[in-house]
Structure formats: C-alpha cells, structure tokens
Amino acid sequence: MRLARAHSVHVTHMRVATAVVAIGLLAATAAMAANTAGNADCPFDPTLHRDAQSIRAEVSRVAEFAAPSAGKRRSVGSPPIAYFEARNIIDTHILDALKRAKIAPARVSSDSEFLRRVTLDLAGRIPTSGEAQAFVADTSADKRDKAIDRLLASDEFNDRWTLWFGDLVQNTQFATAIGQGTGAGSVAYYKWIRQSLAERKPYDAMVRELLTGSGDPVLVGTANYTYRLKQGNGPLQDTWDNLATQSGAQFLGMQLMCISCHNGAGHLELVNTGLAHLKRRQLWELAAFFSKTSINRFVQEPNVFPLDYVLNTTSGNKSPRQPIEGQSDIVLPRYLNGGAPADGELWRTAYARYLTADRQFARAAVNYIWKELFGLGIVEPADNFDLEKLDTQASHPQLLEDLTDAFIAGGYDLRALMRVMTQSNTYQLASHYDTGAWNESYTPYFARHYPRRLQAEMLFDAMYRATSSRFDVCQGTPAICSQPGALHVTKTVASPDPYFLLGFNIGQFLSDFGAGDRDVIERSNSPSLVQAISMMNDSLVLRACRRSMNTTVTAILNETLDPDRITERLYLATLSRYPTANERMLATQYLRGGKVEDRTEDLQFVLLNKLEFLFH
C-alpha cells in the first residue's frame, strides 16, 4: 500500500469549532436513527419488525437534519403550487399523487446538486472540478441527459454497481455459514460480476448463471453463490433450505426463512399476509431444486450426486422434518406457481428459469434500484414484499407495475432502468424543501430528494478524490502483485469484498462508516459519534489536508496564494460547486487572518466535515 507518511496537522480555532459542530450533529442523527431502528435478528417477530412507517419516518428526519426545510407553512394567500414538468412515466405518477394530496414538491435541483448526485449514484464518485465547471457553463437543454448517458457508459459505472451487486449476493471472503473462508473465491466472484456488468449482461441472465454455477469457487465466480450458502453443520437439507430462502430474499424480496421451520399460518399474519398462507412443505419443494447438488468445494450437478430431499432429519438448525401421514417422505421440486422441472432438465436450471420468469423477480429488482437511487423504496421494507397487499404496501402501486413492465419488456436492462429513473424530474428534485414547511406525512410522495450519508466506500473515495490523495492495495507478495492481471485496488468502491482492505487503516475507516461484512453485519449509512471523531482525528483525513503531501492543497498553494482563488478551487474540488457569495466572503476573510498556507489546510478540513460533503 503506497500512502504518504503521516504528519502532525496544525489545528486552528476554526477547525476545532467545525469538528465540534460535526460531532454534535452526527451524534444527534445517530441517536435519532437508533430510536427508529428495528431488530434484524428476528424480522418476523411483530414486536420487533421494522415496518414501512418507521423506515419512512427515519428517512424524513435524516432529510430534515441534512437539508432543513424552509419551515414556513403555506397560507391561504400563498401562490399556487408550482409543479415540475412531467418528463416520463415516473413523473406522471408522482405528480398525480402530489396533486391529489395537494402537496407542493421541492424545486428542481441546481445543476451542481444534480451533477454531484447523479455522478455518485451512477459512477460512485464525485465530479472533478473540471466536470463541475463545464457542466454549469453548458447552456444546452439536454446536458443532464447527456451526463446520465456518459456516466452509464463509463467504466466507473461497473465499479459502483459491482459493489451494489456484491452486497446483494453477499460476496465475502469469510462466511459463518460454511465455517471457513472462501479465500480467492471472492475475487473470482467479483471479477465475474464486474465483467457481466461491463458486458451489459441482462439482470435475469446474471441471476440464472449464479443459481446454476458449478466448479471450483476459487476459479469459477458463479460457483460462489451456492458455496457461500453451505451450512457448516446439520444435514444437507439445511443447506438446501438456505439456498431457497436466500435466493427468495435476494431476488424476490420475500423473507422465506420463517417458512423453513414451520407453516406461515399462526406466525406471519401481522407482518406478511401473503407468506402466512405458505406451508413448510412449499419451502421444502423450493429447496428440493438444489437437492441434486453437492457442495464440497467443487459444485457439481445431478447425475454425479443423485441425492433426494428426504424428510428424515431431527438435527441441525431446523425443527425436525417429518412427512405428513399419507404423503411421501421424499420431496420433489416444485416452484411457488406449481411448476416442476421439464423432462431431462437439471433441477437448478429449472429453479433459475422459474425464479427469473416470476414477475416478482422483476418487481423486486425495480424496487431495489429505486431505493438505491431515491433513498426510499416504493415498497418498504424492500426485502419483505406482501403479495396480497401490493396495492396498499406500495406507495405508488401502479408506478411500480409500470416500471416492472418496462424492465421486463426492455430485457432486464439495468442501465435502461436507471436511465428512466435518473432522467425523471422526480429524481432531480432538490434535497432542500423550500416550498413550505416539511411534513413527515409527505415522505412516501417523494416530494423532495432524500439525502443520506454517503456509504462508506463512496465517502472515502470522495475524500481522496477531493484531496488528490492516492493509495494502492494488492493482496499478495511483491512478486505476485507485479504479475500482469494482479488485482490492485486504488479506490475502495472497487474492492472485491469487505476483507480485502482489512489490516489497513482504510479498512478500519470503512468499518467505522458502516461498510458491514456482507455476512452478519449489515451495511449501514447511519451517522455516529465514531464517524465524527474519525473525520476529525483519523490520520487518513489529516494527511489528506496537508500541504506537505502531494494533495489538492499542495497543488493550489503552488499555483496561488490568493484567498479568493484558493476558496473557489477548494469548493470546486470538494463540494463540486462554486462557493456562495457569503461562503466566499467568510472563507477569504479567514484565509487573510493568518498564515495562508496553514489556513488553507484548515479550510480543506472544514469542507470535508461539512454535512454537504458527508451526505448525498
């Protein structure tokens, strides 16, 4: 890993004051998030289950914290509500709901706010100073659409969405289920995901390949999906159940784990009426699709391992599996719609075919992507769809169905789906709600953009891009890392899995900011006191502000000592925008009040700790 050596940093009153404010604000948000958080250990316990209302409430409070509204209620004499123009089907549905509820939407975002948002969302990075200046100066009417297309076509898109897909399928070196590390398997898995996205492989094709992957997981990326879910103890049926429940949660947005131990009736009525009708045998029938698969480092197919899903278990992590009187003790594969494998069809192939043809597969994907781009799913929780209550569970049920239709008709093209979402004026609304007093009840209407703290990798990379800092991590000996094709990670968003950077300061930073481990620790974007302290004291942050390093501060001071020019360049590099008149005045006054070199470092530090930088 190549990083400049740490040096002490000159801390001024301005820096201390800003850091103290940051600590207070982030701690307040952490406490707020904790008050609304659910218990992930038992998602089906009605007393602990985190419902849509609590999720929306947290989203609303974080938005008001990061971008407070105008705070003035609309009066009888207020001007008529100004609605944005409908650019596509998304806007049509959102506008219709806003008008019926008589809710005023936020104004459309500025060019600078839009560019930073869409660049982070699609490419996982902040814009460069040059990009920010050129975009604001561009007077063409279609410049936003052009920016979207450019980012969708960029190689950085593959890095950012490989990270998202890796989270979805839990690509990690270590998994508690199998009781051992998959080692280099996570790299093979990562490379397969990234290559698939680079090739613009349809989403349904990617999932079919994962569900049917075979071979040595160290060499064959797709084999890791099945291997990752191997149960370290208990009978084989436990592993097959894992594969059925996890694929259901990940690709259908349906929590089936409870059904693997008992029928839904009498347990799930309060949290999911659709699942309450499912029988345990239906889960066994889903799991039986995997029963011909041996998972012993080399994932093989049926003819080699003619296994059956037999109801004869009394050990392991599940309640005993016993046949019902009059039924066979061998369970044959059957999908939720009653479909069975065709003659001669491999059972996992049949399962992959049925699952990816299921409308809920496309619906769940649309909702996942929407949540990633808008900060809140149309259906919440996004992984707990109630198919009997779609009309009431979804905030905009017809919009979800129309987007699902478009996704299927478009060949499960992720880029096309993201294009229509980011081109909408709904996506492009401002974070700051300045058209009146914000009301928490507005949240499901998407009347504003919902800011949230940057996820760990994007925050670290944004800090390093803003300050022109560099790092290079390669796992292995110098001889291995010097070989062609060796994996060098030079930005955290392109790390194969959470453990790749473990052992470096970078890994600790990512952990502090909620990267999770893709196994038992879920990713979190919630702010915390630890994060505020990290931004104030972490050597990685402090070194990035030093002029003795090869940083943005160094480059600016080598070019100019003019306070106005320094201010403008730091704002463009860090916040991707020009400073406001008041910000320019305050910053230049501060720079003129002492040694300009020291105070330039301080200004860089202050900008990195602004909520505008930390939040998206």
For 483-542, how does the pLDDT look when each residue is reduced to its tens digit (9 = 90+)? Answer: 887 888 999 999 999 888 887 889 999 999 999 999 889 999 888 889 999 999 999 999
The token pair that represents 300 in the structure block: 């093989």
Mean pLDDT is lowest, of 157-161, 313-317, 574-578, for: 313-317
Residue 486 near residue 500 (C-beta atoms within 8 A):
no
In this predicted structure, what is the pLDDT of residue 9?
A: 37
CA 12/CA 35 separation, integer angstroms: 35
Terminal-to-terminal C-alpha distance of the chain? 29
Residue 592 near residue 586 (C-beta atoms within 8 A):
no
In this predicted structure, what is the pLDDT of residue 305?
A: 61
- In SS3 terms, 178-222 reads as CCEECCCHHHHHHHHHHHHHHCCCCHHHHHHHHHCCCECCCCCCC
Write the pLDDT tens digit of every residue in 311-344. 988 888 788 888 888 888 999 999 999 999 999 9
- Sorting pLDDT into bands at 50, 70 and 90, what band is 348? very high
CA 99/CA 93 separation, integer angstroms: 10
- Sorting pLDDT into bands at 50, 70 and 90, what band is 265? confident
The answer to whether residue 198 scores a pLDDT higher than 80 is: yes
- pTM for the full predicted model: 0.91
- Sorting pLDDT into bands at 50, 70 and 90, what band is 227? confident
Query: Alpha carbon of 580 to those of 6, 515, 571, 583, 588: distances in Å?
Result: 33, 33, 10, 5, 12
In this predicted structure, what is the pLDDT of residue 400?
A: 98
The answer to whether residue 165 scores a pLDDT higher than 90 is: yes
The answer to whether residue 114 scores a pLDDT higher than 80 is: yes
CA 483/CA 176 separation, integer angstroms: 32
3-class secondary-structure state, position 436: coil
CA 615/CA 218 separation, integer angstroms: 37
CA 93/CA 444 separation, integer angstroms: 13
Which burial class, exposed, middle or buried, applies to 379 when counting CB atoms under 10 A from its CB (0-12, 13-18, 19+)?
buried
The answer to whether residue 306 scores a pLDDT higher than 60 is: yes
In this predicted structure, what is the pLDDT of residue 178?
A: 63
- Point out which residues pair with 174 in neighbouring strands: 181
